[in-house]
């Protein structure tokens, strides 16, 4: 393993948030509010805290003499066996989801029945389906990168199409980020690869145009969001709106927050929605939005609404400790941590858009790894028992 510097969680988190803080002050839309100084200080403090935590964790747990990670053929074969089993499970659940909803957002769009991506899914089950899909993408991508057959590319295509089929930008980008994470953990980026990624970044804004147009929730008409006498920002207008509107909601809503000192908003992210409803709670967040047209909120919003500025920084610190530890152990060559890291990387990358770090798909993700290790143990144990049995028979004399 020769990880890229861009796989580092501190660099990802810091780069995203510093970029947002700078760009927000350079653009103007008619629903944008003025930056909030308290929120800015909170974000800068969170970045500084993450940097200190990471260097502390690395100092005590990093093993510089053990950097290389490699997958043996047996390990790749076991992973392939488990992924095929898991794919059948995921595909079955995904079909149940489609049958239950009588179609998918893409199908609904094509037949024009008026339903949208917000109508798709089964409470709680859909979260687990997305979590399994993310693990499958990571696993099949590892097999593909290690040259284990073109069929893995077919599996990857099916997984990506299933996400596109839902017409949900967040789910699709979150899934892609898993693949990016595992690639950056396994390979450094040379100049040729840098040009490739740069081309992807330049082309990225068009995906917002395309999905917004296909989904019927925006497209090219952004005139309603422009300030007077403003002509917009060309092809970057929609990406800028989506990139900056979550922090705009945070700036706006912070003045209306009554701190609960109870994790009401936070637990909605990781407690199964069916359980939350059963307990008699509503699913409304305690956060005022700048405009109902855009309802995304960054990772900080729910923590601040529940605990206020100071206590929520403590909880952010706990999250940052865990992420730093997982990343450092992955650098040490421990494969379990390598497999756990992609959802954490993805959540950090999209921390400006949603509280993925506290979502069920991330919190419960290690359960799949536990299932994989149990399955691997059973395979290995059965093989050893069979081998010992044959060796024993070899020493048995014929009557």
pLDDT digits (tens, 9 = 90+) for 311-325: 999 999 999 999 999
CB-hemisphere CA count at 13 Å for 206?
5
Compute how many other C-beta atoms are within 10 angstroms of the C-beta atom of residue 108. 19
Rounded Cα gap, residues 175 and 131, in angstroms: 9
Question: So what's the pLDDT on residue 207?
Answer: 63
| Two structure tokens written together for 30 | 């008619």
User: Binning pLDDT at 50, 70 and 90, where does residue 283 land?
Assistant: low
Question: So what's the pLDDT on residue 158?
Answer: 96
User: Binning pLDDT at 50, 70 and 90, where does residue 66 land?
Assistant: low
At which residue do the structure tokens 């653009």 appear?
27
Question: So what's the pLDDT on residue 350?
Answer: 92
Report helix, strand or coil for 324.
Answer: helix
Rounded Cα gap, residues 48 and 282, in angstroms: 35
- Helix-, strand-, coil-residue percentages of the chain, each rounded to 5: 70, 0, 30
| Mean pLDDT value across residues 277-302 | 78
pLDDT digits (tens, 9 = 90+) for 7-50: 999 999 999 999 999 999 998 888 899 999 999 999 999 999 99
Rounded Cα gap, residues 169 and 54, in angstroms: 30
pLDDT at 395 over 90: no
pLDDT at 393 over 70: no
pTM of the model: 0.87
Question: So what's the pLDDT on residue 217?
Answer: 55
Question: So what's the pLDDT on residue 230?
Answer: 64
Q: What is the DSSP string of 341-377?
A: HHHHHHHHHTTTT--GGGSHHHHTTHHHHHHHHHHHH
Q: What is the DSSP string of 31-87?
A: T--PPPHHHHHHHHHHHHHHHHHHHHHHHHH--TT-------HHHHHHHHHHHHHHH
User: Binning pLDDT at 50, 70 and 90, where does residue 74 land?
Assistant: confident
pLDDT digits (tens, 9 = 90+) for 355-369: 999 888 898 899 898
Size of the chain, expressed as the number of residues it contains: 399
Question: So what's the pLDDT on residue 110?
Answer: 84
Question: So what's the pLDDT on residue 37?
Answer: 96
Displacement of CA 371 from its chain's centroid (Å): 20
| Two structure tokens written together for 170 | 């967040």
Measured in degrees and rounded to the nearest 5, phi and psi for residue 293 equal -65, -25
pLDDT at 111 over 80: yes
pLDDT digits (tens, 9 = 90+) for 122-170: 887 888 999 999 999 999 999 999 888 789 999 999 999 999 898 887 8
pLDDT digits (tens, 9 = 90+) for 185-220: 988 877 677 677 766 665 665 665 566 666 555 554
Cα–Cα distances in angstroms (integers) from residue 373 to residues 1, 79, 130, 364, 366, in the given order = 21, 10, 20, 15, 11
Contact call for residues 238 and 218 (beta carbons, < 8 A): yes
Question: So what's the pLDDT on residue 397?
Answer: 44
Q: What is the DSSP string of 238-280?
A: HHHHHHHHHHHHHHHHGGG----SS-HHHHHHHS-HHHHHHTT
Question: So what's the pLDDT on residue 394?
Answer: 45
Closest CA to 346 of 207, 126, 201, 183: 183
% of the chain at pLDDT higher than 70: 78
Question: So what's the pLDDT on residue 388?
Answer: 47
Q: What is the DSSP string of 157-204?
A: HHHHHHHHTTT-HHHHHHHHHHHHHHHHHH----HHHHHHHHHHHHHH
């Amino acid at each position: 393993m020769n990880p890229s510097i861009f796989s580092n969680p501190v660099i990802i988190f810091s780069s995203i948030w510093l970029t947002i803080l700078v760009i927000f002050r350079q653009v103007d839309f008619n629903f944008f509010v003025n930056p909030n100084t308290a929120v800015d200080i909170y974000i800068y403090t969170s970045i500084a805290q993450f940097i200190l935590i990471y260097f502390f964790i690395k100092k005590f747990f990093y093993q510089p003499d053990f950097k290389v990670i490699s997958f043996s053929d047996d390990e790749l074969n076991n992973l392939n066996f488990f992924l095929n089993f898991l794919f059948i499970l995921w595909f079955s659940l995904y079909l149940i989801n489609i049958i239950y909803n009588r179609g998918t957002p893409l199908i609904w769009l094509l037949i024009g029945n008026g339903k949208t991506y917000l109508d798709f899914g089964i409470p709680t089950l859909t979260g687990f389906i997305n979590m399994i899909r993310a693990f499958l993408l990571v696993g099949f991508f590892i097999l593909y990168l290690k040259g284990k057959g073109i069929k893995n590319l077919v599996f990857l295509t099916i997984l990506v199409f299933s996400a596109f089929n839902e017409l949900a930008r967040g789910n699709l980008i979150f899934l892609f980020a898993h693949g990016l994470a595992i690639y950056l953990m396994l390979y450094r980026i040379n100049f040729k690869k840098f040009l490739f990624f740069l081309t992807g970044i330049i082309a990225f804004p068009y995906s917002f145009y395309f999905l917004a147009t296909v989904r019927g929730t925006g497209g090219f008409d952004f005139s309603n969001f422009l300030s007077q006498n403003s002509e917009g920002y060309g092809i970057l207008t929609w990406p800028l709106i989506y990139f900056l509107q979550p922090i705009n909601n945070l700036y706006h809503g912070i003045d209306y927050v009554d701190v609960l000192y109870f994790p009401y908003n936070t637990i909605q992210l990781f407690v199964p929605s069916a359980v939350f409803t059963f307990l008699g709670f509503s699913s409304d967040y305690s956060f005022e939005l700048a405009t109902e047209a855009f309802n995304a909120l960054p990772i900080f919003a729910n923590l601040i609404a529940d605990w206020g500025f100071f206590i929520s920084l403590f909880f952010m610190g706990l999250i940052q400790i865990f992420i730093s530890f997982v990343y450092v152990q992955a650098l040490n060559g421990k494969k379990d941590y390598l497999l756990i890291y992609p959802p954490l990387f993805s959540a950090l990358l999209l921390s400006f858009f949603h509280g993925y770090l506290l979502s069920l798909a991330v919190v419960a993700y290690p359960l799949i790894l536990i299932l994989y290790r149990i399955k691997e143990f059973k395979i290995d144990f059965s093989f050893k028992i069979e081998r010992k049995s044959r060796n024993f028979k070899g020493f048995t004399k014929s009557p």
